[in-house]
């Protein structure tokens, strides 16, 4: 590594947990390994490998780059379902346009473009680190409350993100902010912003999550209510390079 390196690198592991499910006596139904780099130009890149073992086994690989304001810059998403290729797609974003080129087992080669604005919430990629980064679009200067974002894009409308990847749109989606709380998980104790996704147009059950207050918006903990009864906890956190 040369002396010119000017980026930070942080990595971690999030376990997906469920209580009282006969198929998962140890509570573990999935895992997310992630690695984030923060570069001198303000861009952050999140690389996430996700395994979901409830229902049809799903492996999701996602690489997401956002700018200093957490507006999406480019994204790559790939799905393997039941040990078979499902699809892979590459996305690019400007201040006014989102476009993709992809290939899926269902549709073959695909492409699309959609007009956007920088006021969008972000881009939903279904990995937990991506969920946390969407919270960065909330204007914290206004304090606790609810802020609504319109015409938001996702790779998939499925709650597990198990279709596509393509473009799906939620007509409205809101973030509720509760304030700063101390949260303890196996990886340690963290000062966190407490958020929840509310009033989602795809009928997602209530979803609370806690992200770091250090400006990186790293996912620390989450809960999804019935009928899923999921919880998510950061199990490991590694500072690989301080920058």
Q: What is the pLDDT of residues 156-174, one digit of tens each?
A: 988 888 999 999 887 677 8
Instruction: Give the model's pLDDT for residue 120.
Output: 82
Domain range summary for the chain, segments of one domain joined by +: 8-241
- Express each pLDDT in 97-112 by its tens digit: 999 999 999 999 999 9
Upstream peptide bond of 40 is cis (omega within 30 degrees of 0): no
Beta bridge partners of 189: 184
- Express each pLDDT in 32-52 by its tens digit: 999 999 999 999 999 999 999
Instruction: Give the model's pLDDT for residue 122.
Output: 87
- Say yes or no to pLDDT of 5 above 70: no
132: helix, strand or coil: helix
Pairing of strands 145-154, 123-124: parallel
- CA 31, CA 21: separation in Å to the nearest integer? 17
Widest Cα–Cα separation across the chain:
53
pLDDT-above-90 percentage for the chain? 76
Q: Which of 72, 197, 203 is nearest to 138 (CA)?
A: 197
Q: Mean pLDDT over residues 197-204, rounded?
A: 72
- Say yes or no to pLDDT of 73 above 70: yes
- CA 222, CA 241: separation in Å to the nearest integer? 26
Mean pLDDT over each residue of the chain, to the nearest integer: 92
DSSP state of 131: H
pLDDT-above-70 percentage for the chain? 95
Q: Mean pLDDT over residues 63-83, rounded?
A: 97
Instruction: Give the model's pLDDT for residue 4.
Output: 60
Q: Which of 153, 158, 198 is nearest to 171 (CA)?
A: 153
Q: Are 121 and 170 in contact (CB under 8 A)?
A: no
- Express each pLDDT in 207-242 by its tens digit: 999 999 999 999 999 999 877 888 999 999 999 998
Query: What DSSP string describes 39-75?
Result: -TTS-EEEEEEEEE-SSS-EEEEEEEEE-TT--EEEE
* H or E element in which residue 128 lies: helix 128-134
């Amino acid at each position: 590594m040369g002396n010119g390196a000017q980026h930070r690198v942080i990595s971690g592991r999030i376990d997906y947990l469920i209580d009282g499910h006969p198929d998962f006596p140890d509570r573990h139904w999935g895992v997310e390994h992630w690695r984030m780099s923060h570069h001198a130009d303000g861009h952050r890149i999140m690389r996430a490998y996700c395994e979901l073992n409830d229902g049809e086994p799903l492996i999701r690989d996602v690489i997401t780059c956002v700018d200093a304001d957490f507006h999406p810059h480019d994204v790559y998403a790939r799905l393997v379902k039941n040990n078979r290729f499902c699809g892979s797609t590459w996305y690019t974003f400007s201040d006014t346009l989102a476009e993709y080129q992809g290939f899926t087992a269902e549709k073959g080669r695909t492409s699309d473009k959609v007009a956007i604005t920088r006021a969008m919430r972000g881009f939903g990629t279904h990995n937990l680190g991506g969920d946390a980064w969407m919270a960065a679009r909330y204007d914290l200067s206004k304090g606790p409350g609810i802020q609504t974002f319109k015409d938001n894009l996702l790779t998939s409308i499925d709650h597990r993100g198990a279709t596509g990847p393509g473009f799906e749109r939620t007509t409205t989606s809101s973030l509720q902010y509760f304030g700063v709380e101390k949260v303890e998980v196996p990886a340690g104790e963290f000062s966190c912003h407490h958020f929840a996704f509310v009033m989602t147009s795809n009928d997602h059950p209530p979803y609370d999550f806690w992200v770091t207050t250090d400006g990186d918006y790293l996912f620390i903990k989450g809960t999804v209510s019935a009928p899923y009864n999921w919880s998510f906890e950061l199990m490991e956190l590694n500072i690989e390079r301080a920058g």
